[in-house]
Amino acid sequence: MSFDDLGLSAELLRAVHAQGYSEPTPIQAQAIPAVLEGRDVMGAAQTGTGKTAGFTLPILHRLYCGPEKIRTRGVRALVLTPTRELAAQVADCMRAYGKHLPLRSAVIFGGVKINPQIAALRRGVDVLVATPGRLLDHLSQGTVDLSKVEVLVLDEADRMLDMGFIRDIRKVIAALPPASERQTLLFSATFSNEIRKLATGLLENPAIVEVAAQNATADRVRQTIHLVEKSRKREFLSQMIGRGDWRQVLVFTRTKHGANKLATQLEKDGLASAAIHGNKSQGARTRALKGFKSGDVRVLVATDIAARGLDISALPHVVNYELPNVPEDYVHRIGRTARAGREGEAISLVDGEEIGYLRDIERLLRQSLPRTAVEDYTPPQSLVDADARTSSGKRATGKPGQRHLERSRNGGKGHGASANGNGRSNSGQGQDSRNGNRRSDDTRSADSRGNGNRSNGARNNGARHGGPRNGGANGGNNGNRRGRDRQHAARAAA
């Protein structure tokens, strides 16, 4: 099958061929016809398989070839994304494929001044790509009209839920035409039960497009686990990059502080490095990404939130300097490599304290990942032995067990109010949200949503370990633990 067989307009096909594509990917081959038919769609595919074009192309076609509309400043298609980088990527895709069409598109997100965005909206926008927080700013100021929206897209919907955007999403949806009068599309690399529950309330008889097993990883990614003592990870990483003469490496840490620290240390080792995370200004994030793509920056150290939307087609190496405490994030991380049909390598540096995280990942993937004990860098033998016992079917003890206890202490699903009483962190919004100039969506949500250090026990499911008042006798059960861990990871990593 070629793109010519999908029924897209000549103008769109011209743009597609100019990008060097002739055959659609599996997600595109299934999603594009369903969207063109006007059906709601729930689509899942591995990261890097072209799902963005899977909704961009048919949306542009419908807006261009559909019945003539009365020209207003109202937005006709709205795409919501969890992060600035992903919003920018989708907007670039819209512009590239729609360059031969008389349609206007714009992108709005926090971390930059709001006035240029207001000016763009006043000129008239057919397709709007936005992060939820900044979009709500515009709604509250009356600078955007969503009453004419014909198509709504939730991209990376799982991450938006993890970051606590569900209330913002519902506020945005309240400003849209009813579900019966619009088309709704949900796209994500993975689909959890929570996402399917959300889809039930938003989509009407959707077409299910799932081209890979749930939470599967790309077949072209070569995955390796190196057992390395925590205190020597940086040294081992520097040697691995130097000896392998790696020219482009994406390294993941769990926290913003960890990303800054590692980037500084690698710079001292003579490796051109930069960090990207939610506390960085949009200008700094853009410069870091531009330098990484051009080759001026050899190592890009990123958190999970900031890395969403990074589209580097030829990225050969991804390194998990620290394993994520949310197993699904591992799938998203290694999906940054082996994109567009290329080969890639994902290496994880695992200390004995992270064995519990590793086992969670392997259970999610339903496979064991090959381990390599690195001479002179291996963790204490007792922790390696614990991994061996875990691999044979026994639960690890020690630090991983403490991790599970900490999860249960900090709450279940993440719906409790935070310590400041309203679930929003001053450090996340600060002065930027007051003047409307620099609202940072991924920083605000990741740092403030979900559980605070103190949670509202009456609203948490299993918020206290074994607390009877919360409706769950064991606050450390797998469902509550995973929900708490997702939002904890988002707060720490943004």
Residues 314 and 376 both lie in one domain: yes
Q: Are residues 268 and 382 in the same domain?
A: yes
Three-state secondary-structure class, residue 209: strand
Model confidence at 245, pLDDT cuts 50, 70, 90, reads very high
Residue 297: HSE in the Cβ half-sphere, 13 Å Cα cutoff: 24
- CATH label of the domain that carries residue 155: 3.40.50.300
Q: Read off the amino acid at residue 255.
A: T
Sheet strands side by side (includes 41-44): 105-108, 127-130, 77-80, 151-155, 183-188, 41-44, 207-210
Q: What pLDDT, on the 0 to 100 scale, is given for residue 128?
A: 97
The per-residue pLDDT for range 293-352, each reduced to its tens digit, is 888 999 999 998 766 667 676 788 999 999 998 888 888 888 888 766 678 899 999 998
CA atoms of 103 and 11, how far apart (whole Å): 12
Residues 383 and 430 reside in one and the same domain? no
Where do we find the tokens 């904890």? 488
> Would you state the structure tokens that stand for residue 211, as one six-digit string?
């081209």
Residues with Cβ within 8 Å of residue 291, at least 6 apart in sequence: 272, 274, 297
238 and 158 share a domain?
no
**CA distance linking residue 151 with residue 167, whole number of Å:** 20
The DSSP symbol for 254 reads S
**If you ran DSSP here, which 8-state letter would residue 410 be given?**
T
Closest CA relative to residue 474, chosen from 463, 484, 466: 466
User: H-type helices in 49-192, by residue range?
Assistant: 51-65, 84-97, 115-123, 132-141, 157-162, 166-174
Do residues 60 and 146 share a domain?
Answer: yes
67 falls within a domain = yes
Residue 484 falls inside a structural domain: no
Q: In this structure, is residue 112 part of a structural domain?
A: yes
Q: Who wins on pLDDT, 137 or 43?
A: 137
Pair 489, 254: CB distance under 8 Å = yes
**Of all residues in the chain, what percent carry a pLDDT higher than 70?**
70
Could you give the CA distance from residue 354 to residue 272 in angstroms, rounded to a whole number? 28
Residues 383, 249 within the same domain: yes
Give domain status of residue 490, yes or no: no
Q: Is residue 486 part of a domain?
A: no
- Residue 186 near residue 151, CB atoms below 8 Å: no
Helix (H) or strand (E) holding 489: helix 478-493
* pLDDT for the residue numbered 50: 82
Q: Is residue 233 part of a domain?
A: yes
Proportion of the chain above pLDDT 90, given as a percent: 45
Q: Are residues 253 and 199 in the same domain?
A: no
Query: Residue 62: which domain range?
Result: 3-210
Chosen domain end from 152, 175, 210: 210
Does the residue 83 lie in any domain?
Answer: yes
Looking at the fold, whether 407 and 302 belong to one and the same domain comes out as no
Residue finishing a domain among 393, 422, 454: 393
Nearest residue to 230 via CA among 96, 352, 375: 352
Residue 385 in any domain: the answer is yes
Query: pLDDT tier at 412 (50, 70, 90 boundaries)?
Result: very low
Is 15's pLDDT higher than 70? yes
Q: Are residues 335 and 389 in the same domain?
A: yes
Q: Are residues 247 and 164 in the same domain?
A: no
Are residue 72 and residue 200 in the same domain, yes or no? yes
The mean pLDDT of 431-460, rounded to a whole number, is 41
pLDDT, the chain, mean: 77
DSSP string, 430-473: HHHHHHTS---HHHHHHHHSS--SS--TTTSTT-STT-GGGT-S
Beta carbons within 10 angstroms of residue 379's beta carbon: 23
Counted residue by residue, the chain has a size of 494
Exposure string of 233-260, with b = 16+ CB inside 10 Å and e = fewer, is bbebbbebbeeeebebbbbbbbbbebbb
Q: Rank 121-135, 425-439, 457-471 by mean pLDDT and report only the highest.
A: 121-135
224 strand-pairing partners: 347
d(CA 450, CA 490): 9
Do 356 and 461 lie in one domain? The reply is: no
Where does a domain end: 160, 187, 210?
210
Domains: count for the chain: 3
Helix (H) or strand (E) holding 349: strand 344-350
- Res. 202 pLDDT band, cuts 50 70 90: confident
